[in-house]
Chain A
Amino acid sequence: MVIFLIFLVFILAYALFAVYAERKVAAFMQDRYGPMEVGHYGLAQTIADILKLFIKEDIVPAKADKPLFKMAPVIIFTSVFAGFAALPIGPDIIGSGINLGVFYLMTIISLDVIGLLMAGWGSNNKYSLYGALRGVAQVLSYEVPLSLCILAVVMVSQTLDLTKIGLQQGIYLQSLAEYADWENYLFGIKALGINITEAGGFLTWNIFRMPLFMISFVIFFIASLAECNRAPFDIPEAESELVAGFHTEYSGFRFAILFLGEYALMLLVAFLGVILFLGSWNTPFPNIGPVKLAEWTSGAPGTIAGTAWGTFWLLFKVACWILIQMAARWTYPRLRIDQLLYLSWKVLTPAALIIVFIAGVWRLLMI
């Protein structure tokens, strides 16, 4: 219950901040200022925008399929929000410590597309329908490399529990009875004989435990952008071709909910990516001999310091991830639908498949 309230408030605050940050990032990359008038340096701009959305008329097209039209934003946001239940924001803070956390999140991320299709179909608008169909094709395509990347991590981690995946990537690995006899070796190769269980830091992150996860990480990032319908994969919205794609007909509060869902999904995949590849809540600084950087910048699970540091590092990494998502949006042009599917089926999926195979072999080297 506490986690629910924390996340609800957090997502709302995050959405306000993210929209502001998005506009600022865009402006700075284009040698502009962005919003400057409302509040100091434009800080209150998003609040003003949200207030405007709240007082706008709620328009439902006369020829729309009204139940679908009205339900779509709710489904999109609730499905995304449900995903946060399985996310650990520290070694001890988690809404639902289910064993199938990764699996659950994969389904949640895919569920988003149902709401998207409902919105597009229910609007009874050709742009909306085009956007929805494109969105379905895109999300289904990118589901494959995304799942394969996650599968590779799961194979190396030997668990679907997000808390345990996080624990494996830090210096407190052996604090869990189950992992008492586990050791981390440099690049995951036991034959090298370099035990880095005590060093921790970035060296025990999954992208270093299994160096090929660097590529897997990039594939996950690209696929997650497509899952979020973010530029350069925003062809379901494609404002220059489809007006606003599946949410063309939405206005006022319903549009605000759709918008919130989109940004919440960004946050969700950022959380998932950080947990799977970037060491979850663990510090990036390793212990170097007597200089215990890792211990100084993190706390043992179960302590207040552990929770505080863990939350800080996790949110910090997530913020950086989102910043890169934004940078990608304002750097790259939108892909054509054929380029999009080419990238998914002919580049990302084969690469992810190969990494899954190698990850299975790598796991044998780690033990």
Chain B
Amino acid sequence: MAKGANNTYFGDILEGITSLWEGLKVTFRHFIDARKKRPAIGVEDASYFNYDVGVVTTEYPKEAIPVPDNGRYRLHNEIDDCIVCDLCAKICPVNCIEIEAVKSTEEIGKTSDGTTKRLYAAKFDIDMAKCCYCGLCTTVCPTECLTMTKTYDYSEYDISNMIYHFTNLTPEEAEERKKLYEESIRLKELEREKQKAAKAAATEASTEEAKAEGEKKEVKKAPFKPVIKAPSQPSATTEESKTEASAGAVKKPVIKPVIKSKTQAAEGEDKKEEAEESKPAAKPKPVIKPVIKPRTVTNETSEPDSKSQEVTPKPKPIIKPVIKAKKEENTEEGSKEKSEDASAEQPKPKPVIKPVIKPRIPKKDSE
């Protein structure tokens, strides 16, 4: 009987009785089904959907639904495999990882994947109270020593207990290492000055360079940086090389600078030169890229922010640059007739948006 179908006195009573009876049947069915119980299984279990009746409670401390293998919960750092590269601390969006590295006077050892360790972690603290469980730190970790575990129940009465200390050095040991390194630096300085004095007359330059290189290796991840610097940035300053910690980060900026250089160069230099460059650039872009690279270096040093962003989108996709050129030309009051023609041939507004996003990321890295 439909609800309210019979809106008379006895119809209401009849409807009331039937619906009350139905209600009792529902609750008694659940009462009987309460003999059964849903086991603590996860959705990955094949029988997960078979338990559609019965008690659904999971008596948590006594039983727990298993966590998926890729669950993202408490962080753990296997400090023996950690090279203290600081990547995790840099990428952390909430700054919950604090690392204090101490340089070593010699190679400390190898991680389980064969990477050489040259830094001690005087401090490697993760504040799990701040952690947002994004997992970015685990993805950037080069040695995969920083992982997310399945432990999710680790509440504390004192919030300071939420800071997890992963370093294997006591503060005294860390202080000792620090002094040891400073001492070794001081000794080398002395030695170098002695050698300078001794070889002042003879072959000075060659020995000095060799020593300087030796020092750099000890201090930082020497192998990566020198390789990059040599080919791509002949005129690059030492500051740039320091900021670019990883090889991957360095590569990305290289592509972008190509674009930037065009625009920047055009702006900074005479308009005639710009027009000449832009014309060839728009049509045969892939060919141009190698040529552009050296220019990027100059751009970065000069640091043109706002203009560089606008310009950058153009070079990435071959088609896109053509469009961008139009806009720029319009704003700059068309000094480039040829570029306008190219734009008329290819009216694709959508691709313009994409390139804008890409340049931003590399800038952040460099910054």
Partner-contacting stretch, out of A23-31, A132-140, A152-160? A23-31
In the complex, per-residue mask of B8-31: 1 if CB is within 8 Å of any chain A CB, else 0: 010001000000100110111011
Partner-contacting stretch, out of B54-62, B160-168, B224-232, B291-299? B54-62
**Residue numbers in A under 8 Å from B59 (CB-CB):** 33, 36
**Residue numbers in A under 8 Å from B43 (CB-CB):** none
One of A28, A36, A328 near B31 (C-beta < 8 A): A28
Whether B57 contacts A29 by the Cβ 8 Å rule is: no
**Residue numbers in A under 8 Å from B13 (CB-CB):** 347
The yes or no answer to B344 lying at the interface (CB within 8 A) is: no
A32→B56 CA distance, assembly (Å): 6
The yes or no answer to B198 lying at the interface (CB within 8 A) is: no
Whether A332 contacts B20 by the Cβ 8 Å rule is: yes
Closest CB in chain B relative to A122 CB, distance in Å: 36
Most buried by A among B13, B20, B24, B31: B31
Closest CB in chain B relative to A255 CB, distance in Å: 28
Per the 8 Å Cβ criterion, residues 47-96 of B in contact with A are 54-57, 59
Closest CB in chain B relative to A331 CB, distance in Å: 4
Closest CB in chain B relative to A137 CB, distance in Å: 21
The yes or no answer to B361 lying at the interface (CB within 8 A) is: no
The yes or no answer to B132 lying at the interface (CB within 8 A) is: no
The yes or no answer to A21 lying at the interface (CB within 8 A) is: no
**Residue numbers in A under 8 Å from B54 (CB-CB):** 31
With known contacts A331-B23, A332-B23, A347-B13, A31–B28 Cβ distance under 8 A = no
Whether A28 contacts B30 by the Cβ 8 Å rule is: yes
The yes or no answer to A330 lying at the interface (CB within 8 A) is: yes
Whether B57 contacts A331 by the Cβ 8 Å rule is: no
Closest residue of A by beta carbon distance from B22:
A331
With an 8 Å Cβ cutoff, the count of chain A residues facing the other chain is: 16
**Residue numbers in A under 8 Å from B28 (CB-CB):** 29, 327
The yes or no answer to B185 lying at the interface (CB within 8 A) is: no
Whether A327 contacts B27 by the Cβ 8 Å rule is: yes
Whether B30 contacts A29 by the Cβ 8 Å rule is: yes
A276→B9 CA distance, assembly (Å): 29
Whether B27 contacts A331 by the Cβ 8 Å rule is: yes
A328→B28 CA distance, assembly (Å): 10
Whether B24 contacts A28 by the Cβ 8 Å rule is: no
With known contacts A331-B24, A331-B26, A33–B31 Cβ distance under 8 A = no
With known contacts A332-B20, A347-B13, A29–B27 Cβ distance under 8 A = yes
Closest residue of A by beta carbon distance from B59:
A36
A31→B54 CA distance, assembly (Å): 6
Per the 8 Å Cβ criterion, residues 109-144 of A in contact with B are none
Whether A32 contacts B31 by the Cβ 8 Å rule is: no
A347→B15 CA distance, assembly (Å): 13
The yes or no answer to B222 lying at the interface (CB within 8 A) is: no
Closest residue of B by beta carbon distance from A28:
B34
Whether A30 contacts B30 by the Cβ 8 Å rule is: yes
**Residue numbers in B under 8 Å from A36 (CB-CB):** 59
Closest residue of A by beta carbon distance from B58:
A33
Closest CB in chain A relative to B10 CB, distance in Å: 10
**Residue numbers in A under 8 Å from B23 (CB-CB):** 331-332
Closest residue of B by beta carbon distance from A323:
B31
- Chain A residues within 8 Å of B, Cβ to Cβ: 25, 27-33, 36, 327-328, 330-332, 346-347
- Chain B residues within 8 Å of A, Cβ to Cβ: 9, 13, 20, 23-24, 26-28, 30-31, 33-34, 54-57, 59
- Since A31-B57, A32-B56, A332-B23 are in contact, a sample of 16 more A-B pairs with Cβ atoms closer than 8 Å, ordered by chain A residue number, is A25-B31, A27-B34, A28-B31, A28-B34, A28-B55, A29-B28, A31-B33, A31-B34, A31-B54, A31-B55, A32-B55, A32-B57, A33-B57, A36-B59, A331-B27, A346-B9
